Amino acid sequence: MIRRAKAEWTGAVLVCGKCSKKVGGGFGPKGKTSLTKALRKLIGGKGRKAPLGVIETRCLKLCPKSAVTLVDTARPGEWLVVSPGDPVEEIAARLGRAAPQA
Protein backbone atom coordinates (compact mmCIF):
# COMPACT_ATOMS: atom_id res chain seq x y z
CA MET A 1 0.00 0.00 0.00
CA ILE A 2 1.30 3.45 -0.90
CA ARG A 3 1.12 6.00 1.90
CA ARG A 4 1.24 9.78 1.64
CA ALA A 5 3.16 12.31 3.69
CA LYS A 6 2.09 15.94 3.82
CA ALA A 7 4.55 18.70 2.95
CA GLU A 8 4.13 22.49 2.90
CA TRP A 9 6.28 22.85 -0.22
CA THR A 10 5.03 24.92 -3.13
CA GLY A 11 7.87 23.59 -5.27
CA ALA A 12 11.42 22.30 -5.12
CA VAL A 13 14.89 23.38 -6.20
CA LEU A 14 17.48 20.76 -7.11
CA VAL A 15 21.10 21.76 -6.42
CA CYS A 16 23.95 19.75 -7.93
CA GLY A 17 25.94 18.19 -5.10
CA LYS A 18 29.04 17.58 -7.22
CA CYS A 19 29.19 21.25 -8.31
CA SER A 20 28.72 22.32 -4.69
CA LYS A 21 31.65 20.19 -3.54
CA LYS A 22 33.91 21.49 -6.32
CA VAL A 23 33.09 25.11 -5.46
CA GLY A 24 33.45 24.46 -1.71
CA GLY A 25 31.01 27.11 -0.45
CA GLY A 26 31.14 30.65 -1.77
CA PHE A 27 27.68 31.78 -0.68
CA GLY A 28 26.14 33.48 2.34
CA PRO A 29 27.37 36.56 4.22
CA LYS A 30 30.95 35.33 4.70
CA GLY A 31 31.15 33.37 1.46
CA LYS A 32 31.74 30.07 3.23
CA THR A 33 28.29 28.51 3.04
CA SER A 34 27.09 26.01 0.43
CA LEU A 35 24.34 27.19 -1.92
CA THR A 36 21.96 24.56 -0.53
CA LYS A 37 22.37 25.75 3.07
CA ALA A 38 22.24 29.44 2.10
CA LEU A 39 18.98 28.98 0.15
CA ARG A 40 17.39 26.93 2.94
CA LYS A 41 18.26 29.61 5.50
CA LEU A 42 16.99 32.45 3.32
CA ILE A 43 13.72 30.75 2.40
CA GLY A 44 13.03 29.68 5.98
CA GLY A 45 11.53 26.56 7.44
CA LYS A 46 13.02 23.11 7.61
CA GLY A 47 12.27 19.81 5.98
CA ARG A 48 8.65 19.20 4.97
CA LYS A 49 7.50 22.37 6.79
CA ALA A 50 9.57 24.68 4.59
CA PRO A 51 7.72 26.69 1.94
CA LEU A 52 10.14 25.39 -0.71
CA GLY A 53 12.14 22.19 -0.85
CA VAL A 54 15.86 22.70 -1.49
CA ILE A 55 17.33 19.31 -2.37
CA GLU A 56 20.99 18.55 -3.00
CA THR A 57 21.21 15.89 -5.71
CA ARG A 58 23.95 13.85 -7.30
CA CYS A 59 25.65 15.21 -10.40
CA LEU A 60 23.26 16.91 -12.86
CA LYS A 61 25.80 16.36 -15.70
CA LEU A 62 26.17 20.02 -16.71
CA CYS A 63 29.49 20.59 -14.87
CA PRO A 64 30.19 24.33 -15.26
CA LYS A 65 33.61 25.59 -14.20
CA SER A 66 33.57 27.35 -10.82
CA ALA A 67 29.77 27.43 -10.57
CA VAL A 68 26.81 25.44 -9.25
CA THR A 69 23.95 24.10 -11.37
CA LEU A 70 20.41 24.24 -10.02
CA VAL A 71 16.97 23.40 -11.36
CA ASP A 72 13.70 24.97 -10.27
CA THR A 73 11.07 22.25 -10.67
CA ALA A 74 8.54 24.95 -11.62
CA ARG A 75 10.68 25.60 -14.75
CA PRO A 76 12.47 22.32 -15.51
CA GLY A 77 13.53 23.49 -18.97
CA GLU A 78 15.54 26.45 -17.60
CA TRP A 79 18.55 25.41 -15.56
CA LEU A 80 20.51 28.06 -13.68
CA VAL A 81 24.30 28.25 -13.37
CA VAL A 82 25.21 30.22 -10.25
CA SER A 83 28.70 31.50 -9.46
CA PRO A 84 30.11 31.82 -5.94
CA GLY A 85 29.62 35.35 -4.70
CA ASP A 86 26.27 35.77 -6.45
CA PRO A 87 23.87 37.18 -3.82
CA VAL A 88 21.58 34.45 -2.51
CA GLU A 89 18.73 37.01 -2.39
CA GLU A 90 19.04 37.48 -6.17
CA ILE A 91 19.05 33.73 -6.71
CA ALA A 92 15.90 33.37 -4.59
CA ALA A 93 14.26 36.23 -6.51
CA ARG A 94 15.15 34.53 -9.81
CA LEU A 95 13.43 31.41 -8.48
CA GLY A 96 10.37 33.53 -7.70
CA ARG A 97 10.94 33.30 -3.96
CA ALA A 98 11.45 36.26 -1.69
CA ALA A 99 13.06 36.18 1.72
CA PRO A 100 10.56 35.73 4.57
CA GLN A 101 9.48 39.01 6.12
CA ALA A 102 10.59 39.51 9.74
How far, in Å, are 48, 57, 72, 91, 98 from residue 5 at the CA level? Answer: 9, 21, 22, 29, 26
Residue 89 pLDDT? 92
Domain boundaries, the chain: 12-94
Residue 87 pLDDT? 93
Residue 60 pLDDT? 97
Residue 102 pLDDT? 45
pTM value is: 0.89
Task: Give 10-residue mean pLDDT values along the chain (102 residues).
Answer: 94 96 91 94 89 95 96 95 94 78 46
